[in-house]
Amino acid sequence: MSVTKLGKFAVIGLSAAWIAGCSTTATDTDSSTVAEDANSTEQTNGAAENTDQAFGAGQGDAMTSVIVEEEVTTNDNGMDSLAGVQTVFYFDFDKSIVRPESREALAKHAEYLVSHPDARIVLEGHADERGTREYNMALGERRAKAISRYLTIQGVAASQIETVSFGEEVPVAFGHDSNAWQLNRRVEVRYE
């Protein structure tokens, strides 16, 4: 087999692996599960004891309703302990080192994740517009992995953490100056 054919197969194989890695899966709260949970809640709790309701479209544009009780609105999963905790962590130019000022907030995230082993997070790495697209994708990945390593050192299971890089593709600031670039060099923590 010639080198050029081998190169083409490598590019196709890597592209397929990248696309497979970017695929999404259904979550535990897709529309069919929410509708089933709503029906079971209405049947077990009686008709309309509470007037707070939420409405949404079901299958075939049929309206479904969910009775929201005060017990449901209180946060039983402990996310209250993360109220006001930083979820965006910034990095220096061309660096993937966790800043000292980020460590306290990361320790709180780690404490929550250790005490809630079913909780999952996605670490989304970003870069500013300087550098090539490929380099920025790799830099965003290194930044997300740095946060991931910090959390695993704090005792968080690696199975609770997913990392993804957006490189320069999802900026929060669209300027072409140092202030905009600083805002775009970040990792965002998203709970699932």
pLDDT confidence of residue 5? 64
**Using one digit for the tens of pLDDT, what is the confidence trace for 142-172?**
999 999 999 999 999 999 999 999 999 999 9
Which fold does the domain 79-191 belong to in CATH?
A: 60s Ribosomal Protein L30; Chain: A; (3.30.1330)
User: Under a CB-based contact definition with an 8 Å cutoff, are residues 80 and 115 in contact?
Assistant: no
pTM of this prediction exceeds 0.75: no
Which of 28, 70, 76, 77 has its CA nearest to residue 45?
A: 70
- Show me where the domains of the chain are located: 31-73, 79-191
User: Under a CB-based contact definition with an 8 Å cutoff, are residues 34 and 28 in contact?
Assistant: no
**Using one digit for the tens of pLDDT, what is the confidence trace for 5-16?**
666 666 676 565
* Nearest-10 Cα torsion for 26, 27, 30, 35: 130
**Using one digit for the tens of pLDDT, what is the confidence trace for 68-81?**
343 333 345 667 77
- Mean per-residue pLDDT of the chain: 76
Whole-number Å distance between alpha carbons of 24 and 164: 12
In percent, the amount of the chain with pLDDT more than 90 equals: 55
Classify 65 as helix, strand or coil.
strand
Classify 131 as helix, strand or coil.
coil
**Using one digit for the tens of pLDDT, what is the confidence trace for 112-140?**
999 999 999 999 999 999 999 999 999 99
